[in-house]
């Protein structure tokens, strides 16, 4: 408890889903949390306030594909809480993407996935690191995916974007190490977020195949990611950077 007392964390894509779980977990460890999404974050803010008396939360609307919006997100964070220690660029296009062969992906959909899933984290990191450099301390936890190690079919844009997140994590760790900024990534396996639960029957066969591929054969829930997220966000992992932690019940061996 309270491993993040005094720290300030920003989580993007926190209106619902796994991002909301990350935000709650960070608040539970004592961090002051900024929750942002292109959608309204008030339900997540209420859930945190209901769970942790005295928790300090700032809810913002931020489109992570917009450079000025990302800069404003950081400006509002520092104006409210005075610092920024932890960034979790979790927002992505994922849950609502349908499975389709690579030839059938519309160019507009490919571009949208790249804009949110890889340009988005880059813009958030670019906006956040000047403040982290001033503090000579920062923890960036990028969100990759087990799919990049498996080369999962029929989601080419998504899988490629998460491969880019892994590469970006490695490259950034070397650019930011001298400033005390650690950059790691967390790669979840298929996780029963609201969006995944809402997927159609076609997806359910694929979900079962994923469960069967695990050493631990059960569905993965958002809470299964909390231990690794808090480890990567806290001083417990301060001598670790450029790495990727896979949390997927033992489907991928990385």
Ligand X SMILES: NC(=O)c1ccc[n+]([C@@H]2O[C@H](COP(=O)([O-])OP(=O)(O)OC[C@H]3O[C@@H](n4cnc5c(N)ncnc54)[C@H](O)[C@@H]3O)[C@@H](O)[C@H]2O)c1
- Catalytic residues, by residue number, are 158
Of 33, 34, 94, 172, which one interacts with ligand X (CB under 6 A)?
Answer: 94
Are 4 and 29 a contacting pair, CB within 8 Å? yes
In the set 25, 26, 73, 92, which binds ligand X (CB under 6 A)?
92
**Interaction with ligand X in 102-121: which residues (CB under 6 A)?**
116
CB of 54 to ligand X, least distance (A): 26
12 binds ligand X, rule: CB under 6 A: yes
Q: x/- site string to ligand X, residues 52 to 91, per CB under 6 A?
A: ----------xxxx------------------------xx
- Sites for ligand X among residues 181-220 (CB under 6 A): 188, 190-191, 193, 195-196
Q: Are 105 and 157 a contacting pair, CB within 8 Å?
A: yes
Q: Where are the beta strands (DSSP E) in 157-215?
A: 181-188
Rounded to whole angstroms, the maximal C-alpha distance in the chain is 51
Distance CA 70, CA 209 (A): 38
Q: How many residues bind ligand X (CB under 6 A)?
A: 29
Name the minimum Å distance from CB 241 to ligand X.
20
The residue among 54 and 151 lying less far from ligand X, judged by its C-beta, is: 151
Residues in 218-247 at the binding interface with ligand X, rule: CB under 6 A: none
Q: With beta carbons less than 8 A apart as the criterion, state whether 210 and 191 touch.
A: no
Which string of DSSP letters, residue by residue, matches 104-158? GS-HHHHHHHHIIIIIHHHHHHHHHHHHHHHHT-EEEEEE--THHHHT-TT-HHH
**CA gap 187, 104 in Å, rounded:** 26
Of the two residues 13 and 28, which places its CB atom closer to ligand X in the complex?
A: 13
Assess 39 for contact with ligand X (CB under 6 A): yes
């Amino acid at each position: 408890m309270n491993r993040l007392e005094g720290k300030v964390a920003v989580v993007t894509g926190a209106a619902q889903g796994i991002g909301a779980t990350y935000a709650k977990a960070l608040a539970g460890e004592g961090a002051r949390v900024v929750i942002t999404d292109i959608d309204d974050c008030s339900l997540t803010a209420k859930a945190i306030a209901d769970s942790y008396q005295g928790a300090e939360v700032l809810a913002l609307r931020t489109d992570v594909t917009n450079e000025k919006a990302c800069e404003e997100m950081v400006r509002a964070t520092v104006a409210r809480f005075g610092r920024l220690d932890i960034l979790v660029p979790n927002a992505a296009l994922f849950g609502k993407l349908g499975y389709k062969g690579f030839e059938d992906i519309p160019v507009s959909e490919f571009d949208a996935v790249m804009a949110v899933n890889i340009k988005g984290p880059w813009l958030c990191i670019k906006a956040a690191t000047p403040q982290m450099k001033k503090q000579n301390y920062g923890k960036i936890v990028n969100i990759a995916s087990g799919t990049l190690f498996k080369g999962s079919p029929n989601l080419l844009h998504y899988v490629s974007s998460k491969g880019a997140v892994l590469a970006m994590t490695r490259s950034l760790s070397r650019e930011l190490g001298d400033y005390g900024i650690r950059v790691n990534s967390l790669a979840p396996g298929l996780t029963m977020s609201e969006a995944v639960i809402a997927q159609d029957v076609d997806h359910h066969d694929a979900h079962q195949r994923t469960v069967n591929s695990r050493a631990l054969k059960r569905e993965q829930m958002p809470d299964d990611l909390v231990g690794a997220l808090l480890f990567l966000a806290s001083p417990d992992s301060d001598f670790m950077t450029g790495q990727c932690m896979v949390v997927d019940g033992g489907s991928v061996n990385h």
